Structure 1
Amino acid sequence: MTLPTSADVSAAADRIRGRARRTPVLRAELDGSPLVLKLELVQLTGSFKIRGALNALLGGSRPDRVVTASGGNHGLAVATAARLLDLPATIYVPEPTPAVKADAIAATGAKLVRGGASYAEAAEAAQADADGARYLPAYDDPLVVAGQGTLAAEVVADAPDVDNLVVAAGGGGLAAGTVLGSGGRNVVVVEPEGCSAVHQALKAGRPVDTRVASVASSALGATRVGEIPFAVLKDADIRSVLVSDEEILAARDVLWSHFRLAVEPAAAAPLAAWLAGRVPGELPCLVVCGANAAWTPA
């Protein structure tokens, strides 16, 4: 198994420069305490996933076709990256995928296939269709992980005084990339109580199958952490934090009421942990990772 390194994150940053956006950081104060928000919701496709997709498709030999499975954000990123690189793409999504995400994938011109009740079932169908194509996992790929790590590298460059980087986790790709791109800063990995593949794997000492039941499951609903992300995370000094659905939705409302940021539930998980007092340090950077949800603020 080839593991990505911090040098791979630097190479990814060079590779995707000019294609993915360098998203801004926002210095703010909430309840009298300072914090930094990394506004990845304004990234191309509305989430950080385009970073890993572009790096993976640019980092090896050019495929004739790309195939993937996704609950939405990764699929949209791969479809968009494929369009930018003039590659045909087929995206498999689980049946419960929100229409706002499925419709956005179809709008790129990629072939959209709904199949299976879960990400795991969609991934099985996608892999069966990937003969002769580049199958691109959502998180269990060294180039994908390195691409996601460019987000953390930007934070370190633009806000070098932050002492913690706080990210939501599904299959672990962003969390592992953040460790590699953090410049040695502390990393806090936040998951819903009902979708905690990283937390359960760290507790067991190995990837394990987990249940998925959360308001954020469309983005954080991996049933098992990736082998590559886990190999990076298990040797890193990270903090694993769980938050309830109620805390996530309350944090989503705060992001709107205080900052006018309309986000999907997954993107509010880091703020939920911070509001609950579960994030250490004096100046954390909370990654607001995506905005692809059919939600209209009140």
Structure 2
Amino acid sequence: MITRKDVLEAADRIAPFVRDTPLFAADPGEGGCELHFKAEFLQHTGSFKPRGSFNRLLTAREAGELDARVGVVCASGGNAGLAASYAAAALGVPAQVFVPATAPPMKVARLRTLGARVHQVGEQYAEAYEAAGRHVAATGAALVHAYDQPAVAAGAGTIALEILRDLPEVTHIAVAVGGGGLFAGIAAVAAAHGVHVVAVEPERAPTLHAALKAGRPIDVDVSGVAADSLGAKRIGAIAFAAAQTATVDSVLVSDDAIIAARRALWDRRRVVVEHGAATALAGVLSGLSGIGPGDKVAVVLCGANTDPGDLVAGLA
């Protein structure tokens, strides 16, 4: 389990390497509350992931566990791999990234552009992760987990520190959940400040929701429009532990609601995000989160590594 202290230490460690992203207000009354958007899609590599990757690699280097000859290994459907590759390049070490064969071609191409050696294995994240584990065992490379690693989650949690600085009266932070690293980091900070976390998942990938219902992490079937970024089959142990200590509202949304939220961001603001990022907004717009008119809500728009063609098709 991670704490607010871990997140504060991460913030100091990664400050020279990541962007402090803006928080901007929605139109008055939008979403039935005072709504704000945390523009984490403006982070390096187009998602929040470099925060955790840099914290993991920098802590490994501090501990003497980062071998510059063998470097870094990550298993990722895309965003975590991009972040690990970017962080590795910034720190001057090689990166090997294992992705499912279903990873979006755009993300795979960008991995290679960042200098990573890409291995496409299996159809789901779990298969890529197993292959990455075998590589770590054989080479001693430093593993950057996509979500279930204390340093990774603590790095992601620095987003909540920025939100609280810019909107001290925030009552809710809405965040999409896949494996749960982002959720866990934000929950660690939120719990210390009495802020509710709205944990939003696709109905077709309900890792945290299923775990809370079962009383333990369990495997779930994964599919749907957001599976490329929210495609973990099981919630991470760190995230499940965080859900026991924070005030969490678990919300499930349909693919149609996710698509509509993504489209609304484009139509109203010309903001392009991936379906995983739109999932967080869909949870607020669904009316299922218990958010009311007097609440001040920050929605984390966590990534924008997507093909915008379906948003702009048919527009003059």
TM range (shorter): over 0.9
Deviation at 1:276, TM superposition (A): 1.5
Specify the SS of the correspondent of 2:12: helix
- For structure 1, which segment, 228-237 or 203-212, has the greater mean C-alpha deviation from structure 2 after superposition? 228-237
Deviation at 1:184, TM superposition (A): 2.5
Q: For residues 119-268 of structure 1, what are the structure 2 equivalents within 5 Å?
A: 119-131=125-137, 132-182=140-190, 183-268=193-278
For 1:170 and 1:233, locate their aligned partners in 2 and report how far apart those are by CA, in whole Å. 14
Residue of structure 1 aligned with 2:80, choices 74, 77, 88? 74
> Residue 188 of structure 2 contacts residue 246 of structure 2 at CA under 8 Å; is this kept in 1?
no
Structure 2 unaligned residues grouped into runs of 5+: none
For 1:214 and 1:184, locate their aligned partners in 2 and report how far apart those are by CA, in whole Å. 33
For 1:146 and 1:285, locate their aligned partners in 2 and report how far apart those are by CA, in whole Å. 19
Residue type at the aligned position of 1:74: A
Residue type at the aligned position of 1:11: E
Deviation at 1:259, TM superposition (A): 1.4
Deviation at 1:31, TM superposition (A): 5.0
The residue number in structure 2 matching 1:9 is 7
Deviation at 1:30, TM superposition (A): 5.5
> Residue 50 of structure 2 contacts residue 87 of structure 2 at CA under 8 Å; is this kept in 1?
yes
> Residue 164 of structure 1 contacts residue 284 of structure 1 at CA under 8 Å; is this kept in 2?
yes
Specify the SS of the correspondent of 1:247: helix
The residue number in structure 2 matching 1:101 is 107
Deviation at 1:181, TM superposition (A): 2.1
Structure 1 unaligned residues grouped into runs of 5+: none
The residue number in structure 2 matching 1:56 is 56
What percentage of residue pairs aligned between the two structures are identical? 46
> Residue 68 of structure 1 contacts residue 92 of structure 1 at CA under 8 Å; is this kept in 2?
yes
- For structure 1, which segment, 32-41 or 200-209, has the greater mean C-alpha deviation from structure 2 after superposition? 32-41
The residue number in structure 1 matching 2:118 is 112
TM-score by length of 2: 0.91
Task: Provide, for residues 89-121 of structure 1, a one-character-per-residue CA deviation record: whole Å limited to 9, x for no partner.
Answer: 100000000011111111111111101111000
> Residue 23 of structure 1 contacts residue 42 of structure 1 at CA under 8 Å; is this kept in 2?
yes
For 1:184 and 1:142, locate their aligned partners in 2 and report how far apart those are by CA, in whole Å. 22
TM-score by length of 1: 0.97
Residues paired across the two proteins, number: 296
For 1:266 and 1:87, locate their aligned partners in 2 and report how far apart those are by CA, in whole Å. 29
Specify the SS of the correspondent of 1:225: coil
Deviation at 1:86, TM superposition (A): 0.5
Specify the SS of the correspondent of 1:218: coil
CA RMSD in angstroms comes to 1.1
Residue type at the aligned position of 1:90: Q
Residue of structure 1 aligned with 2:280, choices 270, 288, 292? 270
> Residue 195 of structure 2 contacts residue 247 of structure 2 at CA under 8 Å; is this kept in 1?
no
